[in-house]
Amino acid sequence: MTSVAIIDYGSGNLHSAAKAFERAARGSDTQILVTSDPDKVRQAERIVLPGVGAFRDCHDGLKAVPGMWQTLEDEARRGKPLFGICVGMQLMAARGLEHVETKGFGWIDGDVKVIEPADSTLKIPHMGWNTLDLAKPHRLFDGIALGADGLHAYFVHSYHMALKDEALLIATADYGGKVTAFVARDNIAGSQFHPEKSQALGLALIANFLEWRP
């Protein structure tokens, strides 16, 4: 049996995330575990880092779980598949610039900044359904219809990742300009949208992650 550890640090829609991963794993020999225990994270074959709310709050919440931040650093360095969702993805950046500057893991070269739509009538937060445009192919989007006629992803956020290395950009959404929707580097990947709320697109993406061998 393989296992997927969804990190519980007091931030994120853990019930919905767990249910979505369980559904995507149905019929396979995969255990989905919601945990705040670093030992169980080390034992898992894959890691999911969710996050909802402010960058600083998620940073502080994760740091408050004894040993968890360092465990994630270690497991990411070991090459274990790791998937960040929403603020969990943002924490992969070098810095979060939401209200105050806060250091992230630094796995993805970029800063988390407020969305600035070219159309001033567009409201912040960006909330709702958007199609995705693929910037470069990635295994996690295999078999998923993207583009203007493709499947939709669900977003709710005011900040996104401004990348310094465009090679790490996998997909964007259009909200008065390009918004970073998905990033990846080696064994690390992250979605600004919520796959657990994105129905067909989300389940297909999660299923790909469960089989991903970077």
Catalytically active residues, by annotation = 86, 194, 196
> Residue 137: CB partners within 8 Å, gap ≥ 6?
none
Are the beta carbons of 115 and 124 closer than 8 angstroms?
yes
> Rounded to whole angstroms, what are the CA distances from 73 to 40, 66, 176, 200?
15, 13, 35, 31
Q: The dihedral of CA 22, 46, 182, 134: what is its sign? A: negative
**Omega before 125 within 30 of 0, i.e. cis:** yes
